Amino acid sequence: MARTIYFNGALLPEDEVRISPFDHGFLYGDGIFEGIRAYQGRVFKLDEHMERLFASAKSLMLEIPGGPHHMAEAVVATVRANQLQDAYIRLVVSRGPGDLGLDPRRCPKPTVLIIADTIELFPESLYEVGLPLASATIRRPSGDVLNPQIKSLNYLNSVLAKIEAGQRGVPEMVLLNQLGHVVEGTGDNIFIVRGGALVTPPRSAGILPGITRATVMDLAREEGYDVREENFTLHELYNADECFLTGTAAEIIAAISCDGRAIGAGVPGPIAQAMRARFMEYAASHGTNVYPDLSMAH
């Protein structure tokens, strides 16, 4: 089914959206994005996504028209226009059309695009049996090269890791930093369980601090778990009791092995399963209502 796309202030059929070949998002990856979820007619953590979007924009000196409230309303309107209850939303802001040079000052107006659709990052069966992982040979860029907290359109590092995943026959990779510490997956944060405690890499490791990651940390603490932000290596990952990944697209999915080594019992662990169930319950009942006037909305 053709989708309705928000494009520079208007809701258009997808075949009417025209992005300039001179757009610097296309030419140079000069732009930012957010991946957002809607559950049962509610957009999840919309304010947090807007805060991160505008923080990324500030670092890139990229002016987003209308401000956070306007962008949030545009996200809700796009979901509503597509009559979706459960959705994956991609909000993209590029530098906009300019010339063939790099200078962003030649791009007077940004391009804003919002897509509301569905996504399947991993097959549903893997949420039942768990993910096999492998460690990538390439490294995450260090923060002094490319700040990972800027959610930019440049995902080539992750694309190369995904290519390697395909070559090695696994659905997802674990990326390390230059010090050999585990950082994250190609598009998801990582947790290990050790002695009943949940451990996830700190921001200083070079992660994108995910909104799902933060939600899981809060929910886990409410459930009485010890949650720590600490560096760890592949050795700790191999020898963990459990492992799971978190992300807007991935939600929460257990990992059962890495580099051919079983993690724990080699099946989704009880804490990973409990946190997935708790997160899905929470997500279904929290968020910005897309259909406030309809009784079908929860």
pLDDT digits (tens, 9 = 90+) for 163-198: 999 999 999 999 999 999 999 999 999 999 999 999
Tell me whether domains 4-117 and 125-283 share a fold. Answer: no
Is residue 89 within 8 A of residue 43, CB to CB? The reply is yes
pTM listed for this prediction = 0.94
| Residue 125, token pair as written in the block | 């069966």
Say whether pLDDT at 296 is over 50. no
Supply the mean pLDDT for the chain: 96
- What's residue 176's pLDDT? 98
Mean pLDDT for 206-229 is 97
Euclidean distance between CA atoms 251 and 131, whole angstroms: 13
Q: Which of 175, 150, 153, 148 is nearest to 164 (CA)?
A: 175
Beta strands 288-289 and 42-43 are antiparallel
Pick the CATH number of 4-117 from 3.10.270.10, 1.10.10.10, 3.30.470.10, 1.10.10.60: 3.30.470.10
Please give the pLDDT value at position 295: 47
Provide the pLDDT confidence category of residue 298 given band limits of 50, 70 and 90.
Answer: very low
State residue 121's pLDDT score: 86
Q: Do 225 and 201 meet the contact criterion of CB atoms below 8 Å apart? A: no
Q: What span, in angstroms and rounded, lies between the C-alpha atoms of 247 and 250?
A: 5
Instruction: For residues 58 and 126, give the distance between their C-alpha atoms in angstroms, rounded to a whole number.
Output: 38
Express each pLDDT in 231-255 by its tens digit: 999 999 999 999 999 999 999 999 9
C-alpha distance across the termini of the chain, in Å: 25
Q: What is the CATH number of domain 125-283?
A: 3.20.10.10
**Domain range summary for the chain, segments of one domain joined by +:** 4-117, 125-283
The string of pLDDT tens digits covering residues 102-121 is: 999 999 999 999 999 999 88
